[in-house]
Amino acid sequence: EKPHKCTFEGCCKAYSRLENLKTHLRSHTGEEPYTCEYPGCAKAFSN
């Protein structure tokens, strides 16, 4: 069973784990909360 469903219009993804849904939602919002810690690197990531 996958009770955690994406609420974005046109998206029918569902997940059994809430953390997987949270990661998926970033694909819609463009949020990239994780940054590379290597000196001089400015890359950011969603997961």
Q: pLDDT per residue over 9-26, tens digit each?
A: 999 999 999 999 999 999
Q: Which pair of tokens denotes residue 26?
A: 């970033």
**Domains, the chain, ordered by start:** 4-45 (3.30.160.60)
Q: Binning pLDDT at 50, 70 and 90, where does residue 44 land?
A: very high
Q: Could you tell me the pTM of the whole model?
A: 0.79
pLDDT in the model for residue 8: 96
Q: Are 46 and 33 in contact (CB under 8 A)?
A: yes
Report, as an integer, the average pLDDT of 18-47. 96
Over the chain, what is the mean pLDDT? 97
Kindly write down the DSSP assignment for every residue of 9-31, as one continuous string.
TT---EESSHHHHHHHHHHHH--
Report, as an integer, the average pLDDT of 17-42. 97
pLDDT in the model for residue 6: 98
